[in-house]
Amino acid sequence: MANKMGEHVTSENPLGIYLKERRAKLDPAAFGFSPARRRTAGLRREEVAQRANISPTWYTWLEQGRGGAPSADVLDRIARALMLTDLEREHLFLLGLGHPPEVRYRKDEGVTPRLQRVLDALEPSPALIRTAIWDVVAWNRAATVMLIDYGSLPPEQRNILRFVFLDPSARAVQYDWESVARFVVGAFKIDAARAGAAADVEPLVDELCRLSPEFKVMWGDNDLRSHGEAVKHIKHPVLGPIGFEYSAFAVDGRPDLSMVVYNPVTQADLDRIRSLIE
């Protein structure tokens, strides 16, 4: 089927429709293109192709539903060219490839006020948000009281592996520190690999191997662990034994982040925590 301009058009081309909609929302002048003599709003196809550093013909074919499936690299370039948000980029990949993009690790980015409010609303359950290399970037007051006072640490020290292997208090609260430590290392390896964060992991791993012989041994083991849900028991210095149901969730719009929630196993544990934080 062809339109009035002789272009090939398919009625079943959601990717092409989405690309057209997104480029129509962009202001040419904001990207250094002349806004004059345009029949429609937004960027032209060749301008998107120029920004994405791909062939104008290939981009035109994508909008027209021709030429086969694009590569992940091409979609990434187009996402940047169209200034897509993370959610819009994910939708682009779902339309173009049928699956979401791989997780991208971002360095030194915090969380939105909305996410912080979610953490605060979960009290008295301790909750935190960590990056793919297990730097803790947000937490609620219950986490401060029951786990670690992250606010008292410099940002570069707010890492779960550092705490587990280098802080003596981490051993004091665990019933079986070695088992917990192995679990942490195995789950950490999976998260870092998924996020493609090898370059950012290397300095941390080198430091921990130097400072902790136990970490060095465990890191050398090929012991990978899933960490979606588990039960965790600690010996709190004030409340004594406490049991938590541990759950980790992907953060909507930020697949490089995980929200970790420690939900008290019993109502009695929950009441004891509430009495401590109120």
| Cis, peptide link before residue 124, omega less than 30° from 0 | yes
Residue 77 has pLDDT above 80, yes or no: yes
Say if CB 196 and CB 239 are below 8 A apart: no
Range scoring the smallest mean pLDDT among 88-97, 99-108, 164-173, 228-237: 99-108
CA distance 62 to 230: 45
Say what the pTM is.
Answer: 0.65
Give which of 79, 119, 109, 115 is closest to 96, Cα–Cα: 79
Helix (H) or strand (E) holding 256: strand 254-264
Domains, the chain, in order of start with CATH, read 14-97 (1.10.260.40), 113-277 (3.30.450.180)
Tell me the pLDDT tens digit for each residue of 35-66: 888 888 899 999 999 999 999 999 999 999 88
CA distance 193 to 207: 19
DSSP state of 260: E
CA distance 151 to 144: 8
pLDDT band with cut points at 50, 70 and 90 for residue 2: very low
* Helix, strand, coil percentages for the chain (3-state, nearest 5): 50, 15, 35
Share of the chain above pLDDT 70, in %: 90
Q: What are phi and psi of 127, to 5 degrees?
A: -150, 145
Classify 174 as helix, strand or coil.
Answer: strand
Tell me the pLDDT tens digit for each residue of 183-241: 899 888 888 877 777 778 889 999 999 999 999 999 988 666 655 567 888 999 999 99
Beta bridge partners of 254: 251
Q: What is the mean pLDDT of the chain?
A: 86
| DSSP per residue, 90-151 | HHHHHHHHSSPPPP---SS----HHHHHHHHHTTTS-EEEE-TT-BEEEE-HHHHHHT--GG
Residue 96 has pLDDT above 70, yes or no: yes
Say if CB 180 and CB 167 are below 8 A apart: no
The predicted structure's pLDDT at residue 38: 85
